Amino acid sequence: MNLISQIIWILFGASIDLALGDDILRRNKTRNVEEESQLIFSHVIVRHGDRNIWSGCPNDPFGDESYWIGGFGALSNFGKRDLFDLGQYMRTRYQHLVGTSYSPKTVYIRSTDEDRNLMSSQCLAAGLYPPSEDEIWHNDLNWQPVPVHTVPSTTDYFLHSFVPCSLADKLFKELMSSEFVKSLLEKHRTLISFMENSCGKPIKTLSDVYKTYNTLTIEEQRGFDIPDWAKEILKSNVTLEYLSAVSYQIATYLPEMKKIRAGFLIKEMLDRFKNKTLSNLQPDRSLWIYAVHSTGIVNILNSLDVFEMMIPPCGASLHFELFQQGKEYYVQLLYKTPFTKNAIPLKIKSCGFICSLDEIYEIYNDILPKEDEDFESLCRLKV
């Protein structure tokens, strides 16, 4: 993310705080949620920390893997620190949930089976759970191991956005070749042609636009002396951010795509909330963390109709929080990036900033898989 994009995120967070502050206070005062409720459970979906580029283009002077410590796609030291800081933030926010010592009966961490995500999870855990006095096992190391769970990427349809699915893949391909996408590419043909000629490779799809833009952004952010043509491309960052966001949004553009690519995870979280309210959660945990990719967070945001057409930066997090007020239970959705001090409340459609658990089920009923629907059955093409 280049400097201008970082500024946009900072201003976005500040504007949300100012514009929505009165509304949040009014709603909270109406329901007395802040004063009389208790936060009893939280799910946190985290994007991995800052990473290296995936690959360079032929004319990219920094496209060789030797320039990137750990190799293409690896978690950077900046990313390690951002996730550690997020862990410390979560320790402050959820202190009454996580306790002073680690327990598998309190917290569970699940990650996609990618090195940068597994490492990001470990960095977050290090910030969340520094060893208490009884947990110190090495005088020179203020760290303790915390388990991170995963499953193979080829079957992880809960967290991984590219598990093969005949129906979702078919719809995605059709949308990517739709007149709307074609018109977008044609509208910005001059910019895309300049990118092609400068980089020395074809750029035919919105995904190609994003990958090239993302590579140049990371190189600039790392302080490389990028060529003039790269600087010229990055001047169009607002346009490129939008085109990139569209390429992400298409994966969950239709209700059936939302159900397949995000519905299983959303339903799992809501059902865990429900079991918490019924005292049926075993073990009775209070914090569940998922380490995903940018596509995973966008799929959730777009499926919940709260996507702001900006790809979440590395280290961003989405917080689903469950509050109890007497016999009533409410859900709050918040969003945080490394560029915002605190998590920002998001407004849920047809409801507001704090909604009852029953309302959430009702609002998103059409994208939640039913009891007789599994991934395989939903992905099956209709004959």
Are 77 and 106 within one domain? yes
Residues of the chain short of pLDDT 70, as ranges, are 1-35, 383
The pLDDT, as a whole number, for residue 16 is 45
Are 220 and 353 within one domain? no
The pLDDT, as a whole number, for residue 33 is 60
The number of domains in the chain is 2
Are 138 and 31 within one domain? yes
Buried b (16+ CB within 10 A) or exposed e, 188-206: beebbeebbebbebebeeb
Q: Which residue, of 227, 249, 271, is where some domain finishes? A: 249
CA-CA distance, 263 to 254, in Å (whole number)? Answer: 12
Q: Does 353 map to a domain?
A: yes
Q: Does 125 map to a domain?
A: yes
Show the domain range for 226.
169-249
Are 111 and 241 within one domain? no
Q: Within 13 A of 352's CA, how many CA atoms are on the CB side? A: 15
The pLDDT, as a whole number, for residue 220 is 97
Contacts of 211 (CB under 8 A, 6+ apart): 54
Q: Which residue, of 208, 227, 249, is where some domain finishes? A: 249
* Identity of the residue numbered 50: D
Q: Does 164 map to a domain?
A: no
Are 150 and 289 within one domain? yes
Are 245 and 259 within one domain? no
Contacts of 351 (CB under 8 A, 6+ apart): 359, 360, 363
Are 265 and 345 within one domain? yes
Q: Does 266 map to a domain?
A: yes
The pLDDT, as a whole number, for residue 21 is 45
CB atoms within 10 A of CB 300: 26
Q: Within 13 A of 181's CA, how many CA atoms are on the CB side? A: 21
Helix H, strand E, coil C: the string for the chain is: CCHHHHHHHHHHHHHHHHHHHHHHHHHHHHHCHHHHCEEEEEEEEEECCCECCCCCCCCCCCCCHHHCCCCCCCECHHHHHHHHHHHHHHHHHCHHHHCCCCCCCCEEEEECCCHHHHHHHHHHHHHHCCCCHHHCCCCCCCCCCCCCECCCHHHCCCCCCCCCCHHHHHHHHHHHCCHHHHHHHHHCHHHHHHHHHHHCCCCCCHHHHHHHHHHHHHHHHCCCCCCHHHHHHHCCHHHHHHHHHHHHHHHHCCHHHHHHHHHHHHHHHHHHHHHHHCCCCCCCCCEEEEEECHHHHHHHHHHCCCCCCCCCCCCCEEEEEEEEECCEEEEEEEEECCCCCCCEECCECCCECEEEHHHHHHHCHHHCCCCCCCHHHHHCCCC
Are 241 and 275 within one domain? no
The CATH number of the domain where 360 resides is what?
A: 3.40.50.1240
The pLDDT, as a whole number, for residue 35 is 64
pTM of the model: 0.91
The pLDDT, as a whole number, for residue 144 is 97
Mind listing the pLDDT tens digit for each residue in 260-276? 999 999 999 999 999 99
Q: Does 340 map to a domain?
A: yes
Q: Does 306 map to a domain?
A: yes
Q: Taking a C-beta distance cutoff of 8 angstroms, is the pair 285, 107 a contact?
A: yes
Q: Which residue, of 199, 224, 249, is where some domain finishes? A: 249
Q: Does 364 map to a domain?
A: yes
Are 225 and 279 within one domain? no
The pLDDT, as a whole number, for residue 350 is 87
The pLDDT, as a whole number, for residue 382 is 79
Q: Taking a C-beta distance cutoff of 8 angstroms, is the pair 18, 237 a contact?
A: no
Q: In degrees rounded to 5, what are phi and psi of residue 20?
A: -100, -10
Are 137 and 280 within one domain? yes
The pLDDT, as a whole number, for residue 31 is 46
Are 38 and 145 within one domain? yes
Q: Does 187 map to a domain?
A: yes
Are 144 and 177 within one domain? no
